[in-house]
């Protein structure tokens, strides 16, 4: 676990909006890094807030903004993407010149547009879009872990006019959680995650449905378990992700269909050497990526 | 680890053709189950045979059939599928009325056709096609494990005229290794594995290539790692699998393209409720499958 980043020392109170797996894990990690300020949770469901408090993710949970935002220096949106627009509108009245905001949303273009559309400009400039690329197919604060973000990557999608102090605090937050930072524009981010997360998720869902409807599950083994693991993810969260990134996902599906057609042609040609060359190339690319990941963390 | 099945007691010598991950693991498992007969390996590369012997997978390794087949009661083909036709032709002269044969090939229709095409009929009737559904993306005897097959499924593709005694011995072999048995015709088997193994493998390969060529690997995380794990598999083995099961894989690709088109339409409609319903259905199907697997092994 990394040490508390200096930019977080004077933040005062942190409000985590949505205390599920991600929000809960942020609270646990901040506490483990000896963050001295108060950590509060905001949410609709008292039961989730109570669970998060009992697990030590937050000091206190609120279903109303007033007491949660009182003295708050940093707001972290960790609610489902579909709730963001309403949350931003509800947050606007609680702005003050030192308030800094960030989020953990899995898509960024729509979020960043909503921020500038729904918040006063000065407040929008203190919102630093983030996507900490960590998680698992489980959800809820009962699965929160202080090391969930350790050694993972966080994409920062700052805008040209993003407040530099706000950015330093938000970067300090993710560094405190042990993350590597990468800068991207919201559009770049959304195209990249469409390729390495949203398309793989869609394919996993369709693979499960194909086997469930046409047969084969009785002999499915560890390969199927791993290639489809993400299909056990939270349907609500993923419906939001697909809905908020539909243009990029549709585009990447079109590209992928072309790849699948080419693969089918290769099969039709029955050319084992060409097939082996493609499989070798993919293996080399994947093994190189595994080494890159391992180097990042050593 | 299961006990030695009674049908294996009087087998005498077992010859494992191909002492890689699967062949080597069979040898280790038989020895751990106190199989009393000799276990020999047959292969082209002395180095692999030596490694298998040093790891205790086999008692002795041969690059020639004569000494390996002398007194042999059970032959297990664990070589790459592409080598099967030649191996069957080379084995034919060593037949005797008590010789039993099986294989671990990942596709079954072509293998079973080759068996009846290339072996004398009485010998072909003592060949019991098998597909032990276990493995990992590593290969070679250095990764062999006695428990590789434990609690996994083995598909038996016997023919109407398969010798019942031969079948009892081969079923006893896989039971000794801790496997569950499922009967299928070779064609049924090949269609099922196209859906739950070969298509997922192809998609994993194409996902890796898409990200490698268009970008995103720098932010790819555990979801990508798991959905593409199988793409690190042995290119030679998988080229053989795709080549020997091309008709079934092409057919399942055509079906899957239809599913992908429907998913794209759902995205285009921007209907979060319908999307969430599809994702929930896939989650329910997958979670039910995980429970089925867990029930099988408890």
Assembly ipTM = 0.86
Which of B:139-178 have CB within 8 Å of A? Answer: 152-153, 155
Q: For the CA atoms of B241, A283, A222, B19, what is the dihedral angle to 10 degrees?
A: 60
Neighbours of A240 (CB within 10 A): 24
Residue A215 pLDDT more than 60? yes
Task: For chain A, give the percent of residues with pLDDT over 70.
Answer: 98
pLDDT for residue A1: 56
Q: Is the CB of residue B258 less than 8 Å away from at least one CB of chain A?
A: no
The residues, any chain, with a CB within 8 Å of residue B240's CB and separated by 6 or more, are: A272, B80, B81, B82
Q: Is the CB of residue A252 less than 8 Å away from at least one CB of chain B?
A: yes
In angstroms, the separation between the Cα of residue A108 and the nearest Cα of chain B is: 14
> Dihedrals φ, ψ of B107, to 5°?
-125, 150
Residue A137 pLDDT more than 80? no
Neighbours of B206 (CB within 10 A): 22
Q: Is the CB of residue B133 less than 8 Å away from at least one CB of chain A?
A: yes
Question: Which of A208, A217, A276 shows the shortest C-beta gap to B236?
Answer: A276
* Alpha-carbon span A115 to A100, nearest angstrom: 13
Question: Which of A209, A263, A283 shows the shortest C-beta gap to B232?
Answer: A283
Mean pLDDT along residues B18-33: 96
- Look at the pTM and tell me if it is higher than 0.90: no
Q: Are A253 and B239 an interchain contact pair (Cβ–Cβ within 8 Å)?
A: no
Give, as one character, the DSSP assignment of residue A151.
T
Q: Are B283 and A216 an interchain contact pair (Cβ–Cβ within 8 Å)?
A: no
Mean pLDDT along residues A260-289: 96
Residue B200 pLDDT more than 90? yes
pLDDT for residue A100: 98
Closest CA to B281 of A238, A40, A116: A238
Task: For chain B, give the percent of residues with pLDDT over 70.
Answer: 98
Question: Which of B152, B214, B236 shows the shortest C-beta gap to A221?
Answer: B152
Q: How confident is the model over B243-292, as pLDDT tens digits?
A: 999 999 999 999 999 999 999 999 999 899 999 999 999 999 999 999 99
Q: Is the CB of residue A267 less than 8 Å away from at least one CB of chain B?
A: yes
Question: Which of A243, A264, A279 shows the shortest C-beta gap to B272?
Answer: A243
Among A260-264, B107-111, B131-135, name the one with the lowest average pLDDT: B131-135
Closest CA to A33 of A62, A73, A6, A65: A6
In angstroms, the separation between the Cα of residue B84 and the nearest Cα of chain A is: 15
């Amino acid at each position: 676990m990394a040490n508390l980043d200096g930019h977080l020392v004077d933040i005062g109170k942190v409000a985590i909006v949505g205390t599920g797996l991600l929000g809960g894990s942020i609270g646990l990690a901040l506490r483990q890094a000896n963050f001295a300020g108060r950590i509060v949770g905001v949410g609709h469901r008292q039961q989730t807030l109570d669970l998060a408090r009992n697990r030590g993710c937050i000091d206190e949970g609120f279903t109303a903004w007033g007491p949660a935002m009182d003295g708050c220096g940093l707001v972290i949106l960790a609610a489902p993407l579909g709730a963001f627009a309403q949350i931003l509108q509800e947050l606007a009245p609680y702005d003050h010149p030192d308030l800094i905001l960030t989020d953990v949303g899995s898509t960024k273009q729509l979020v960043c547009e909503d921020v500038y559309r729904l918040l006063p400009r000065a407040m929008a400039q203190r919102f630093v879009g983030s996507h900490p690329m960590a998680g698992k197919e489980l959800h809820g604060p009962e699965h929160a872990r202080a090391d969930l973000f350790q050694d993972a990557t966080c994409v920062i999608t700052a805008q040209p006019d993003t407040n530099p102090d706000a950015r330093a605090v938000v970067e300090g937050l993710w560094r405190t959680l042990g993350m590597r930072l990468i800068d991207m524009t919201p559009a770049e981010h959304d195209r990249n995650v469409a390729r390495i997360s949203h398309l793989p998720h869609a394919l996993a869902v369709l693979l499960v449905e194909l086997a469930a409807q046409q047969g084969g599950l009785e002999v499915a083994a560890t390969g199927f378990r791993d290639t489809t693991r993400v299909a056990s993810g939270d349907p609500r969260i993923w419906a939001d992700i697909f809905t908020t990134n539909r243009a990029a996902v549709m585009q990447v599906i079109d590209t992928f269909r072309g790849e699948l057609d080419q693969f089918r042609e290769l099969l039709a040609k029955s050319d084992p050497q060409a097939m082996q060359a493609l499989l070798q190339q993919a293996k080399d690319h994947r093994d190189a990526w595994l080494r890159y990941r391992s180097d990042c963390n050593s």
